[in-house]
């Protein structure tokens, strides 16, 4: 059998930064905001790596190399839209106004964490300033959820779309099939964003699928499929913008495959040197998405080395300060084990809560107060 040659991905700018005739639809301040978000993701990654290696947090997920996918896609969404993210989507939250401090609270699982310490690190969820649905560790489970939400918006006549982001490994999940099947049947206003970063932990894409691309899988479900250069931020934005427009106008779902590369481990628990070919990594380093976008900004006279140095210092100071504040924030109160489940606490949980506070008081836990369960 003759091997199938993979198709060329859609691009907007060249690796040198040229974008002849393309208007990204962003004002200069919005372009700089996108650039600052890229730098913030890198700073957040760097600080979290140091925190994990020093034993101050348990876990983190590196984003280096795929930042343009998240930021480019987020720039095409409204804050009224819903995002069903994977755990490598820091940039989407940061682009739409989530502060590093709010994310750091989750990394430490402290009392200010939106999940009150019940989630793993990197499993963010936010209601404001955008709809960022809780990240889930099981692969692909959020894809049918995104279709369900999109179907609900469709039935209510609401002008919203859902974007579900996932890695190439997620395409092998049952949730992927179920989600794309129903999205096609219902013509649901949902965008599936596959971050094909080359590896599903240590499993390469070549062992993940025999298809010429992940985008081509859309044809079997009766939806649009697009292959895009994931390190070209403006190409990801344009592909997502067109998908959003299609979804809002009743044209149905789109599967976007953003071809990129994870220039680091799957997580802080992973050693990529055991399976990533050095030559392959070196080749992708030349396509670093941050440097790629810098060259575009320089071409439109919005960037120089001074801007990079100033913004890198700003975002590093903000992220470092967020880590220090989150680390000093007290842990969740004992009563939060029982809260946010029932509107009216059942008798058996109230009894268990009282027993827990009485035991904590006996053991000298100051958070237990006089031993009275507060809920």
Q: Which pLDDT belongs to residue 339?
A: 87
Please indicate whether residue 22 is annotated as part of the active site.
Answer: no
For position 211, what pLDDT does the model report? 94
Mean pLDDT along residues 252-265: 96
Q: What is the dihedral of CA 30, 8, 242, 221, to 10 degrees?
A: -140
Taking the model in full, what pTM does it have? 0.94
pLDDT at 366 (0 to 100):
78
Q: With cut-offs at 50, 70 and 90, classify the pLDDT of residue 370.
A: confident
51: left (phi over 0), alpha (psi -120 to 50) or beta: alpha
Quickly state the pLDDT bin for 1 (edges 50, 70, 90). very low
Q: How far is CA 135 from CA 44, 52, 121, 165, in A?
A: 18, 20, 10, 10
Q: How confident is the model at residue 358 (pLDDT cuts 50, 70, 90)?
A: very high
- Residue 21: exposed, middle, or buried by beta-carbon count in 10 A (0-12, 13-18, 19+)? exposed
**C-alpha dihedral over 185, 191, 193, 194, to 10 degrees?**
10
Catalytic site residue from 187, 221, 266, 296: 266
Q: CA 66, CA 263: separation in Å to the nearest integer?
A: 8
Token output for 67: 């930042």
Q: Is the per-residue pLDDT at 261 higher than 80?
A: yes
Catalytic residue check, 348: no
The answer to whether 121 and 49 are in contact (CB under 8 A) is no
Indicate the fold that domain 28-328 takes in CATH.
Rossmann fold (3.40.50)
- The tokens for 315 are 């975002």
Q: What is the pLDDT of residues 191-216, one digit of tens each?
A: 999 999 999 999 999 899 999 999 99
Q: Bigger pLDDT: 21 or 243? A: 243
| Angle between helices 233-248 and 67-74 in degrees, nearest 10 | 40
Cα separation, 9 vs 23, whole angstroms: 19
DSSP-derived pairing of the beta strands 131-132 and 82-84:
parallel
- Alpha-helix residue ranges (DSSP H) falling in the chain: 28-53, 67-74, 90-95, 100-108, 142-156, 174-186, 233-248, 278-285, 289-299, 305-328, 347-362
Does pLDDT of 220 surpass 80? yes
What pLDDT does residue 5 have? 63
pLDDT at 367: 81
Query: Is 262 tagged catalytic?
Result: yes
Q: Does residue 3 register a pLDDT over 60?
A: no
- Asked if 258 and 236 touch (Cβ cutoff 8 Å), the reply is yes
CB 187 within 8 A of CB 274: no
Indicate which residue of 53, 275, 310, 362 is catalytic.
Answer: 275
Query: Mean pLDDT score of the chain, rounded to an integer?
Result: 94
Name the residue with higher pLDDT: 239 or 128: 239
Would the pLDDT of 368 be above 90? no
pLDDT at 37 over 90: yes
**β-bridge partners, 162:** 82, 190
The per-residue pLDDT for range 234-244, each reduced to its tens digit, is: 999 999 999 99
Average pLDDT on 181-189 reads 98
Q: What is the pLDDT of residue 4?
A: 57
> What is the per-residue pLDDT across 284-336, written as a single tens digit (0 to 9) for each?
999 999 999 999 999 999 999 999 999 999 999 999 999 999 999 999 999 99
For residues 14-21, average pLDDT: 90
Cα dihedral across residues 313, 316, 319, 322: positive or negative: negative
């Amino acid at each position: 059998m003759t091997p199938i040659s993979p198709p060329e991905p859609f691009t907007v700018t060249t690796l040198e930064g040229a974008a002849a005739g393309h208007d990204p639809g962003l004002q200069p301040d919005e372009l700089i905001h996108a650039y600052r978000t890229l730098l913030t993701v890198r700073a957040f990654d760097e600080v979290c790596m140091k925190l994990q290696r020093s034993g101050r947090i348990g876990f983190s997920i590196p984003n280096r190399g795929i930042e343009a996918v998240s930021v480019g896609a987020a720039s095409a969404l409204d804050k009224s839209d819903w995002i069903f993210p994977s755990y490598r989507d820091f940039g989407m939250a940061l682009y739409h106004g989530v502060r590093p401090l709010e994310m750091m609270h989750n990394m430490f699982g402290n009392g200010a964490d939106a999940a009150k310490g019940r989630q793993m690190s990197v499993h963010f969820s936010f209601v404001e300033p955008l709809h960022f649905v809780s990240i889930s560790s099981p692969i692909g489970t959020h894809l049918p959820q995104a279709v369900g939400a999109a179907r609900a918006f469709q039935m209510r006549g609401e002008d919203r779309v859902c974007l579900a982001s996932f890695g190439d490994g997620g395409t092998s999940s049952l949730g992927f099939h179920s989600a794309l099947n129903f999205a096609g049947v219902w013509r649901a206003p949902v965008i599936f964003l596959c971050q094909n970063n080359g590896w599903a932990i240590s499993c390469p894409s070549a062992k993940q699928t025999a298809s010429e691309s992940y985008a081509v899988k859309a044809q079997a479900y009766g939806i649009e499929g697009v292959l895009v250069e994931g390190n070209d931020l403006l190409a990801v934005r344009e592909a997502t913008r067109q998908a959003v427009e299609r979804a809002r106008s009743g044209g149905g779902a789109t599967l976007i495959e953003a071809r990129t590369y994870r220039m680091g481990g799957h997580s802080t628990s992973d050693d990529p040197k055991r399976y990533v070919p050095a030559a392959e990594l070196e080749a992708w380093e030349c396509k670093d998405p941050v440097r790629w976008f810098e060259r575009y900004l320089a071409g439109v006279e919005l960037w120089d080395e001074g801007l990079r140095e100033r913004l890198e210092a700003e975002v590093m100071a903000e992220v470092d300060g967020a880590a220090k504040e989150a680390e000093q924030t007290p842990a969740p109160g004992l009563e939060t084990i029982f809260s946010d489940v029932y509107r009216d606490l059942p008798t058996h949980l109230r009894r268990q809560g009282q027993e827990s506070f009485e035991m904590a008081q006996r053991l000298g836990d100051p958070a237990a107060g006089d031993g009275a369960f507060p809920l």
